[in-house]
C-alpha cells in the first residue's frame, strides 16, 4: 500500500513534478498547529511556463482543466516533500483563481482539473471544499492559479 | 434555548434555504482538525439564481446587501447540516467577493449583509474578521460570492 | 530580549501604527482554536489613506513595496494588541491583493514588501507561505490589500 504521496500519484498514472522554487521571500509551505498552507501554484513544470493567456481567448476550457491539474500536481509535490500520505488527514479547501474572457463561463469545469486530481490520488483524504474566483491578473499572464490548505493527523 | 442553527435563524425572523448542490467535484463543507471550510456560496435560493450583474450597474448597493445575506444564509444552511449550534465555537473569517462598476465604492456596506446576519443570528459565535475583494468574474455573472471558515468546540 | 511585537518592530527601526478601525460590522481579529485571522488591511497610517491607484499607472513598483509594508505593519499592530511575541507560533499564510495596469508584472516584488517585513521582524516566526492576486477593485481605490492568518503556541 502506497505510503507516500508520490507513490499514489504514480499509481494514478501521473508524475509528480519538481516542486517549483518560490518567486519571492516566502516559503512554499508552512505547517503550524497541524495545518499546512501551500503557497500559490501556477502551471509550471520543470521550470517551463504553460497555459499563459485568458480562458475563452488563448486558452480553451480543456486547456484550463489541464492547467489546473498541473497546479494541483505542484501542490502535491510540495506536500510530498514534508508529509507522508499516512500522516495526512486531508485537503481542507482549495482556492482556485482564473483569468477569462468576458463571455466565458466554464470555471467550475476548469477547477475540476484540480478537484478530480485530489479526489483520485488521495481518495477520502482528497475530499475538499473550494472557492473559484475570476481575477484580473496573475504573474506571467498565467491563466490559472491554485492554493490549498490541509490538515495533519495528530 | 435554541440548539440548532436553523432555530436561531428562525428566531431572527429568517428562513434557512435548502443547501445548494455543489457545481463540481467538491464538497460543500469539509471539517478537519476542528475547523470547518465552507465552499463558495452565491445568491441562490431554492435553485433560482438572484442578483446577477455588477454592483453600480444592474445591482444597487441595497441589492448587494440582500445578495450577501442570501450567501450567508446558504453558508449557515450548510453548517446547519453538520454542526449543532452548541458545538460551534464561532465563525473565523469570511471572504467576500463582489463584481462592480468602475466608480462604485460601497463594498463595505454590501458585505455587511453577511456580517450583520452572522452577528445577529450567532451572537458572540458570529463575530468574525473579513476580507472583501472586487474581482472580475464569478460563475453565472453573480454579483457577489462568499466563503467562510469556522471552528468547532473541542 | 523583546517580548512584544511592538518592541521587535522598533528594534527593526520601524514604528507600529495605530491599528485601523474596521470599516464595517466585523472584528479586526478573531482567534479561535489557537488560530488568528486578521481582517484585510490597506495602506492606511494614522487614518490617512496612502497609495491609491494602480501599480504601473499612478503607483510604481517601489510604491507598491512600501504600500505592502504599511499593510503588514497594520497586521502586526492588530496582532500586537492581543498576542505577545512569546505566545506567537508564527505567521501561517498571507493573502496579498493588488490592482495593476495591463502590462505591469512585478507583483512578487511588491508582495515582498510584506514578506520581508514579517521575516525581518518576527524571524523564524515570520516564515509564511503566500498567495498574490491581481484583482479589479479594492475599497477607496487602494493599490494593495493584505490579510494574514497566524498560530498561537499552545
Using the structure block, give the residue that is written with the C-alpha cell 506567537: C88
Residue A24 has pLDDT above 70, yes or no: yes
B41 alpha carbon, distance to own chain's centre: 6
Rg, C-alpha atoms of chain B: 15
Question: Mean pLDDT, to the nearest integer, of B122-142?
Answer: 97
Using the structure block, give the residue that is written with the C-alpha cell 446547519: B80
According to DSSP, residue C19 is labeled: P
Question: Mean pLDDT, to the nearest integer, of B66-76?
Answer: 98
Question: Mean pLDDT, to the nearest integer, of A64-87?
Answer: 97
Number of helices (H), then strands (E), belonging to chain B: the values are: 3, 7
ipTM of the complex: 0.95
CA distance C114 to A140: 21
A24 interaction partners in chain C (CB closer than 8 Å): 108-109, 111-112, 115, 130
Report the residue from A32, A95, A97 with minimal CB separation from C151: A32
Residue A154's pLDDT band, with cuts at 50, 70 and 90, is confident
CA proximity to A36, closest of A96, A92, A97:
A92
B25 interaction partners in chain A (CB closer than 8 Å): 112, 115-116, 119
Residue C2's pLDDT band, with cuts at 50, 70 and 90, is low
Q: List, in order, residues 6 or more apart from A68 with CB less than 8 Å away.
A: A43, A96, A110, A111, A112, A113, A114, A144, A146
Q: Is residue C133 within 8 angstroms of chain A, CB to CB?
A: yes
- Domain total of chain C: 1
CA distance A23 to B45: 42
Taking CA atoms, what residue in C is nearest to A137? C134
- Residue A38 in contact with residue A128, Cβ under 8 Å? no
* Residue B51, domain extent: 5-152
Residue C1 has pLDDT above 60, yes or no: no
CA distance A3 to C44: 49
CA distance C151 to C154: 9
According to DSSP, residue B58 is labeled: T
The pLDDT tens digits for C96-134 are: 999 999 999 999 999 999 999 999 999 999 999 999 999
* Dihedral angle computed from the Cα positions of residues B141, B142, B143 and B149, in that order, rounded to the nearest 10 degrees: -140
* Dihedral angle computed from the Cα positions of residues B133, B137, B143 and B147, in that order, rounded to the nearest 10 degrees: -50
Q: What pLDDT, on a 0 to 100 scale, did the predictor assign at position A3?
A: 85
User: Cell triple for residue C16?
Assistant: 507600529
Q: What pLDDT, on a 0 to 100 scale, did the predictor assign at position C154?
A: 87
The pLDDT tens digits for A124-152 are: 999 999 999 999 999 999 999 999 999 99
B15 alpha carbon, distance to own chain's centre: 14
**Binary contact (A25, C133; C-beta < 8 A):** no
A116 interaction partners in chain B (CB closer than 8 Å): 25
The pLDDT tens digits for C25-79 are: 999 999 999 999 999 999 999 899 999 999 999 999 999 999 999 999 999 999 9
The three-class DSSP label of residue C100 is: strand
C131 interaction partners in chain A (CB closer than 8 Å): 39-40, 95, 145, 147
Q: Which of C99, C123, C131, C152 to mutate to test the interface with A (most CBs of A within 10 A)?
A: C131
Number of helices (H), then strands (E), belonging to chain C: the values are: 3, 7
The pLDDT tens digits for B25-57 are: 999 999 999 999 999 999 999 899 999 999 999
Q: Check which CATH number belongs to the domain holding C33 and give it.
A: 3.30.1330.40
Q: What pLDDT, on a 0 to 100 scale, did the predictor assign at position B17?
A: 95
Amino acid at each position: 500500500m502506497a505510503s507516500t504521496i508520490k507513490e499514489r500519484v504514480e499509481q494514478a498514472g501521473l508524475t509528480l513534478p519538481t516542486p517549483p522554487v518560490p518567486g519571492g521571500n516566502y516559503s512554499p509551505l508552512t505547517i503550524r498547529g497541524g495545518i499546512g498552507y501551500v503557497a500559490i501554484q501556477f502551471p509550471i513544470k520543470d521550470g517551463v511556463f504553460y497555459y499563459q493567456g485568458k480562458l475563452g481567448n488563448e486558452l480553451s476550457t480543456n486547456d484550463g482543466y489541464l492547467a489546473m491539474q498541473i497546479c494541483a500536481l505542484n501542490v502535491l509535490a510540495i506536500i510530498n516533500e514534508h508529509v507522508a500520505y499516512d500522516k495526512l488527514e486531508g485537503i481542507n479547501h482549495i482556492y482556485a483563481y482564473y483569468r477569462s474572457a468576458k463571455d466565458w463561463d466554464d470555471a467550475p469545469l476548469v477547477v475540476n482539473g484540480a478537484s478530480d486530481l485530489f479526489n483520485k490520488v488521495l481518495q477520502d483524504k482528497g475530499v475538499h471544499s473550494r472557492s473559484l474566483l475570476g481575477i484580473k491578473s496573475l504573474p506571467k499572464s498565467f491563466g490559472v492559479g491554485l492554493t490549498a490548505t490541509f490538515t495533519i493527523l495528530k
